[in-house]
Amino acid sequence: ARTVLAPRQLPVGVITAFVGVPLFLYLLRRGSRTQTQ
């Protein structure tokens, strides 16, 4: 994570949030879609 943005050091949690939130929303939408059919 630190090598991606070399001048700034971001905490791992920030990187995880940026990756995890869209993935989590995708899984929620996919799960709710299968229940309605």
| Total structural domains within the chain | 1
In a domain, 37, yes or no: no
For position 9, what pLDDT does the model report? 67
Mean pLDDT, the chain, whole residue set: 77
Q: Please give the average per-residue pLDDT across 13-19, as a whole number.
A: 88
Name the token pair of 13.
């949690």
The string of DSSP codes covering 1-37 is -TTTTTTS---HHHHHHHHHHHHHHHHHHHHHHHHH-
- Do the beta carbons of residue 15 and residue 1 sit within 8 Å? yes
Q: Is residue 13 part of a domain?
A: yes
Residue 36 has pLDDT above 80, yes or no: no
What is the pLDDT, as a whole number, of residue 5?
A: 54
Residue 28 belongs to domain spanning: 1-32
pLDDT digits (tens, 9 = 90+) for 18-31: 899 999 999 999 88
| Residue 26 domain flag | yes
pLDDT confidence of residue 6: 58
Tell me if 27 is assigned to some domain.
yes
Q: Is the per-residue pLDDT at 7 higher than 90?
A: no
